[in-house]
Amino acid sequence: MLNKYIDIIFKKQYPRWTIMLFDFAATASILLSYNFYQLDNFITISWPFIFLIPFVNFLFLRILGVYNTSIRYYSLENLFSLILSFICSFFIIYQLSNFSVLLERFTIMDLIIVYYLSISIIISFRFFIKIIFKNFGTYKVENVLVYASEDLNIIINFLNQSKYFKISGVIIDDNLKHLNSGINSYGLDDNLITIIKQYNVKKILIPDSLNIEKIEFIYNLKNSSKFDIVKFPEQSKFLDRLTEFSLNPLEIEDLLSRDKISLNKKNIKKEYYDKRILITGGAGSIGSEIIRQLIKFKPSQILIIDNSETPMFDLKSELSSFEEEINFHFVVDSILDKDSMSYLFKKFKPEVVFHAAAFKHVSMMEENPKSAIINNILGTKNLLDVSLNSSISKFVFISSDKAVNPSSVMGVTKRICELYISKFFKDIPDIIVTRFGNVLGSNGSVVKIFKDQISSGGPVTVTHPEVNRYFMTIPEASQLVLEAGAMGEKGEIFVFDMGEPVKISDLAKKMIKLSGKIIDEDITIEYIGLREGEKLYEELLTDSEKLKKSYNSLILIAEKDYVDNNTYTAIDELIESAKKGSNNVILIDKMREIVEEYKPLNSKYS
């Protein structure tokens, strides 16, 4: 019965403010008790002083990062930071006692006693929590192998503090030296499967930055033994918040991406640090990942707008641990409500806008051109109109490779947005367009469709044997959006290097193989024909565009769009026609007039 209640209490992640409150109350209580102890002279310590010492303690505990780590994972480094905080506080208060009349009756011996009792109680409380968590409660211990990285010692410390994991060994590369002599080390070779079976390994922990070939080698070992592969975040991300709940399971998408990209973090931080940032479509795949990447650069405020309630709720829960560092605002609203957008701009005064909200599913928009025009084009127009005479200094529009020589309704609405943006070059300091291809793992991604089809036994449906697409992971796309936004100037179109295009049929075959299935025996591939609006291949440039290099080899810059006033008038007329409910043929014809290269494919509008 006792174990049950201990599990309920100590498995939960409590807010850091509860620990802060305990630390503050502990010192304040000692000072108050000290007053009562001095019965013959109740004013030995004045009332303001009862709150001064706890406040100065709290200040140094925050500065030295004592509250960044959960108590259950406290190490000697954390304990040293705590003691150092109290030493700094002691000297500040001691210096004040020489000048303040509030402290004139408070001797140095009194000060030593208060600090000694405070630090004893606060450290004892932390050790009590660790002992309770480590030695009581019911839990299942799993044997794990850890892939060596620069953060190896931090990861090992975390695992040693956790009651859920036992380290069976470390996997090392030839160029990495294992510094922990008490733990066995193994090479990344075929003998590793023997170690996995011998120690009944249930998890292999790999760094987020591990290259694809090595991840694939480990993944293939799963065919011989059952274990999970999980990623631990790199030092610059969330290691200071690492828990057994924050280890991310490896997804098939991780095996389809390229090696990790390199960003100019100094430039990005300079652009976004301490800024007020607004993100539309913030609960979507790209929008939410932009937020995760932005957190590292410490903006002062992030305003998140999305009209999907459930994803927004999930995102708010995910970001709750960062609310002490960044001021988040979650607004369930539509960019189509111009009055509401105007109110939000006036209230929160954003300095940077990332516009990621859009209808993006090609086949769905072929059936609903009116909705695509209103949401994608009118929504963008609303934001640009509201941005005029506002506090923003940068507007970043998330476009698509489907906007290039568009063959679909979705693609042509994105291209029209790109053209309409040029109207505001003189009015908004920096407007940036970012253009990239398909994103692995995003909502509606072919990868998720294939995963569901494989898990249900197939068949895996591919539109055409020769169809190919450019692919990029969600973190890759989001990181490049941030860097393009940081380097961009007025009206530039940034085209991301998507690597080599991937045949969708080859992607399907690889995913079937990685799932431990045999093609045509366990899972079949069925070709169903191109859907409406789809091309065999996508492009990243129009025929008239030329590219120049940027300082990031993965980001290229296309020439700016320059459009005459007749085009802007035609776009406004298109929006009005859609709002009035004109039939689809009329809307398609109007879009053809605006974007001459728009040629519907495999469509009723062809």
Output DSSP code: residue 117: H
- Whether the Cβ atoms of residue 378 and residue 593 lie closer than 8 Å to each other: no
- Residues 459, 520 contacting (CB under 8 angstroms): no
CA distance 355 to 280: 5
Residues 304, 312 contacting (CB under 8 angstroms): yes
Q: Is 475 helix (H, G, I), strand (E, B) or coil?
A: helix
Assign 406 to helix, strand or coil: coil
The 8-class DSSP code of residue 560 comes to: P
Are the beta carbons of 164 and 139 closer than 8 angstroms? yes
| Helix or strand (DSSP H, E) at 340 | helix 338-348
Degrees (nearest 5) of the Cα angle 63, 66, 68?
95
In angstroms, the CA 319 to CA 370 distance is 35
CB of 81 closer than 8 Å to CB of 66: yes
Q: Which two tokens stand for residue 131?
A: 């002992």
- Is 402 catalytic? The answer is yes
Planar angle of CA 486, 488, 490, nearest 5 degrees: 135
Of the residues 231, 275, 394, 402, only one is catalytic, namely 402
Tokens standing for 354?
């990332």
Of 436, 429, 551, give the one whose Cα is nearest residue 494.
436
The CA distance from 260 to 262, in Å, is 7
* Helical residues (DSSP H) of 199-308, grouped into ranges: 212-220, 265-272, 285-295
Amino acid in the structure at residue 473? T
Q: Give dist(CA 108, CA 91) in Å, integer.
A: 11
133 sits in the region (left: phi over 0; alpha: psi -120 to 50; else beta) called alpha
Contact present, 358 and 414 (Cβ < 8 Å): yes
| Distance separating alpha carbons of residues 346 and 344, to the nearest angstrom | 5
Helix (H, G, I), strand (E, B) or coil at 520: coil
- SS3 of 352, please? strand
Distance, CA of 200 to CA of 197 (rounded, Å): 5
Cβ atoms within 10 Å of 131's Cβ, excluding its own: 10
Burial class (CB in 10 A: 0-12, 13-18, 19+), 175: exposed
Structure tokens at 260: 């990790």
Three-class SS state of 144: strand
If phi over 0 gives left and psi between -120 and 50 gives alpha, with beta otherwise, what is residue 333? beta
Active site positions, annotated: 402
